[in-house]
Amino acid sequence: MVSNCTAGCGGRSSDTAEPAIQPERECCSRRKGLLSSYGPVPALPQRLRPLRQPWSAHAAAALVLTIFSLGCQAEGRTEPAVVGELWYVDAKMADESRKALHESLAASGWHEGENVRFVPRFADGNPATLPALADELATMRVDVMFVSAKAVGAARRATQSIPIVSAAMSDPVAEGFASSLQHPSANVTGLSWQSVETSGKRLELAREFLPRMRRIGILFDASDQGAQLEKNALDSAARTVGLEVKVMGASGASGVASALARLKRAHVQALFVPQSPLTVLNATQILAAAVRARIPVIAEGRHFAQAGALVAYGPSALDAISRAAGYVDKLLRGSQPGDLPIEQPLKFELVVNRKTAKALRLTIPYAIELRADELLGGTELAFRARRGIAPATSVIPDMPAPTRAHEHTDVTIWDLDGNPQELPPALDGIR
C-alpha cells in the first residue's frame, strides 16, 4: 500500500523523526520551501471579492500541502504495487476478464512492468485448490487481492488484513463477508451481482418467448450459495404466476451430467441456469443436452448466449470488472476497504441467439428484438436501440457512429458491413 508522509508537516522538529522516514521528511521540506517561495497570499480588490469570507492564507496553504502530499506519497513507493489475482476458472477462460482489469487499471495510471505487478493464480475449476492458492497470495503480502466470487471465502480465510476486491459477489452480507453494503467494515469490497433481483426479469423474457409455458426446469450448483439464492427466488416467482417447477441440483461435473440425463424425462418447456463457476465451466455440455431435448435455455451471462442459450439477461461482466478495477485503484492509493461501499451493477445486457431460436422453431418477439443489446447468429439486420447514456455493444466490430440522416431516429439498423440502413415501414412509427 502507498504509505502516507508522517514527517510532520505541522511544525514538528526534524530531530524527532525516525531515521526510517528521513526521505519523507526531505519531501516535506521541499514542499514547505516551495510553498514559502510563493510569498503571502495577495488580497483581492474589493470589487472582486466573493460575498462569502475569502480563504485565509492558512486555508490556501493547507490546500497546497494536500496537493503536494500526493506527490510525496508517490515518491514514497520504490517498488511496484503488487495485485494478486485469484480466478476460479483456468487461464484461458479468465483471459478476457484479465484484459478488462488490466486495461482499466492502466487508464487509472497503473501500468504493468512500471508501477504495478500482477500475480495471477488459477483454480482451473477445482474449488479444493482455492484455499492453498489464497494462502500463497497472502504469504506473498500482495497489496490487493482481486478474486472471483467463488474465491472470496477462501481469500477471506487466508487474510483479514489484505484488501480483497470481487466484481461479482452474490450476497456479501448474507455470506458474512460484509456487515452492510454501505459500510462493509471488513477487508472485502467490490460489487454485488444482483442475480436474485434479475431472476424475475429472466422469467418474464421466457414467458414472452413461450406464452403457453406451463413447466420450467432449474439446473443450479447446489454447492454455490449465490446459485441457491437465485434458485429460491426464481422458484418462488414461477410458482406465483402458476408455473410448475422442476429443480435439479448438481455438485461437480458428474452431478451436472446426472441432472442432464434426467432433463428430457422432466418434460420442462424451458431450462433456467443460475450462473455459477460450475455452470459456466459446463456450459457447452448443458447447452448440447438442452438442444438434443429441444429445450430453450434462459441464462444470465452473455457467454451462455454465445454458446447457444436462447436468451441471456444480466449484468455486464466486463463493465463490472472495469468498475471493480476502480476499487483496486483506490486501495492502492491508500483507501481502506471498509470505507468503500459495495456497489451494484449499472449496465445490464440482453443478448438473444437467433440461430438457437431458428433451430427450436421459435419466433423472437418483436419487442425483444428492439430491446436486445445484441442479436447473435443469422444474416438478418442488427437492431440497435440508442439509450442516450452509452452505445450498446454491437455484434459488428468497430461499428461506425450513425450518419446525420439517421441521428433523429430512436433505432438505427446496421447491415453486416456496419453501414446504416433506411428504416423499414414497420419501424417508421418509432421515430
- Split at pLDDT 50, 70, 90, the class of 187 is very high
The residue ranking higher by pLDDT, 354 or 49, is 354
Residue 70 carries which DSSP code? Answer: H
Residues 6+ apart with CB under 8 A from 280: 89, 93, 301, 303
Q: Interhelix angle for 57-76 vs 22-36, to 10°?
A: 140
pLDDT for 56? 56
> How far is it, in rounded angstroms, from Cα 136 to Cα 121?
9
What is the pLDDT, as a whole number, of residue 35? 40
Phi, psi (rounded to 5 degrees) for 198: -95, -5
Binning pLDDT at 50, 70 and 90, where does residue 171 land?
confident
Side by side, the strands of the sheet bearing 420-421 are 382-385, 411-414, 420-421
Does pTM top 0.85 for this prediction? Answer: no
Mean pLDDT of the chain: 76
- Strand 164-169 to 144-147 pairing: parallel
Check whether 260 has a pLDDT greater than 70.
yes
Distance CA 156, CA 181 (A): 17
Distance of CA 165 to the CA centre of its chain: 11
**Spans of all domains in the chain:** 14-76, 81-192+319-339, 196-315+347-357
Confidence band, pLDDT 50/70/90 cuts, at residue 365: very high
What is the arrangement of strands in the sheet containing 215-221, beginning at the earlier edge strand? 244-250, 215-221, 270-272, 297-299, 311-315, 348-353, 374-376
- Is the predicted pLDDT of residue 49 greater than 50, yes or no? no
- The region of weakest confidence among 133-137, 161-165, 272-276 is 272-276
In the numeric block, which cell numbers belong to residue 255? Answer: 452431478
pLDDT band at 266 (very low <50, low <70, confident <90, very high): confident
Would you say 149 and 129 are in contact if contact means Cβ atoms under 8 Å apart?
Answer: no
Which CATH superfamily is 81-192+319-339 part of?
Answer: Response regulator (3.40.50.2300)
**What are 296's three cell numbers?**
430453450
Rg over CA atoms, the chain: 27
pLDDT of amino acid 242: 92
Confidence of residue 59 (pLDDT cuts 50, 70, 90): low
**Domain pair 81-192+319-339 / 196-315+347-357, same fold:** yes
Mind listing the pLDDT tens digit for each residue in 93-108? 899 999 999 999 999 9
Beta bridge partners of 248: 219
**What pLDDT was estimated at residue 389?**
31
Helix (H) or strand (E) run with residue 92 in it: helix 91-107
CA distance 121 to 389: 36
Specify the pairing of strand 116-122 against strand 81-87.
parallel
Which of the residue ranges 1-5, 58-62, 194-198 would you say has the lowest mean pLDDT? 1-5
Window from 153-157, 313-317, 346-350, 420-424 with minimum mean pLDDT:
420-424
The Cα 185–Cα 337 span in angstroms is 7
Q: What is the predicted pLDDT for the residue at 8?
A: 41
Positive or negative, the CA dihedral 220, 223, 227, 229 is: positive
User: What does the pLDDT read at residue 58?
Assistant: 54
What average pLDDT score do residues 136-161 get?
A: 95
> Among 77-81, 238-242, 339-343, 368-372, where is mean pLDDT lowest?
77-81
> One-letter amino acid identity for 418?
G
Q: Which of 96, 76, 63 has the alpha carbon at shortest distance from 6? A: 76
CB 323 within 8 A of CB 167: yes
pLDDT at 62: 52
Which pLDDT score is estimated for 427?
A: 30
What one-letter code names the amino acid at 406? H
Beta bridge partners of 342: none
Q: Find, among 331, 318, 336, 324, the residue nearest to 390 by Cα.
A: 318
Alpha-helical segments (H) within 108-249: 130-139, 152-158, 195-209, 225-240
> For 153, which DSSP code?
H
196-315+347-357: CATH topology is Rossmann fold (3.40.50)
Pair 116, 81: CB distance under 8 Å: yes
